[in-house]
Amino acid sequence: EAQVTQNPRYLITVTGKKLTVTCSQNMNHEYMSWYRQDPGLGLRQIYYSMNVEVTDKGDVPEGYKVSRKEKRNFPLILESPSPNQTSLYFCASSFRQGLVGELFFGEGSRLTVL
């Protein structure tokens, strides 16, 4: 089954404790991206990757890091989480950017930073 898998789905952590949210897709997609969803703001892009070893900042990259060592994986790293990073996070992938209608999302990871 074609899918984007995120882990963990739910996480409560404390300020400053490093964490990683994993994302894996099995569709051989080149493009991957991370979004955060906050009330009244829709989905905002954090980082994206056009291919292996190619990553770039989205609209709200502060406090986040990513890596793309393999085509299927695109982890999101919070080196020192803060309460303003409490949010619902979505990983998404697409065969290639520009082919609209083909952005596939994971089920989401709800993060709470105390």
Contact positions vs other proteins (CB under 8 A):
4, 33, 35, 39-45, 48, 50, 56, 58-59, 90, 92, 97-98, 100-103, 105-108
Q: CA torsion 18→109→5→51, rounded to 10°?
A: -60
Please, what is the minimum distance in Å from the beta carbon of residue 106 to other proteins? 5
Nearest residue (CB) to other proteins, 18 versus 47? 47
d(CA 114, CA 104): 30
Asked if 81 and 13 touch (Cβ cutoff 8 Å), the reply is yes
Please, what is the minimum distance in Å from the beta carbon of residue 18 to other proteins? 25
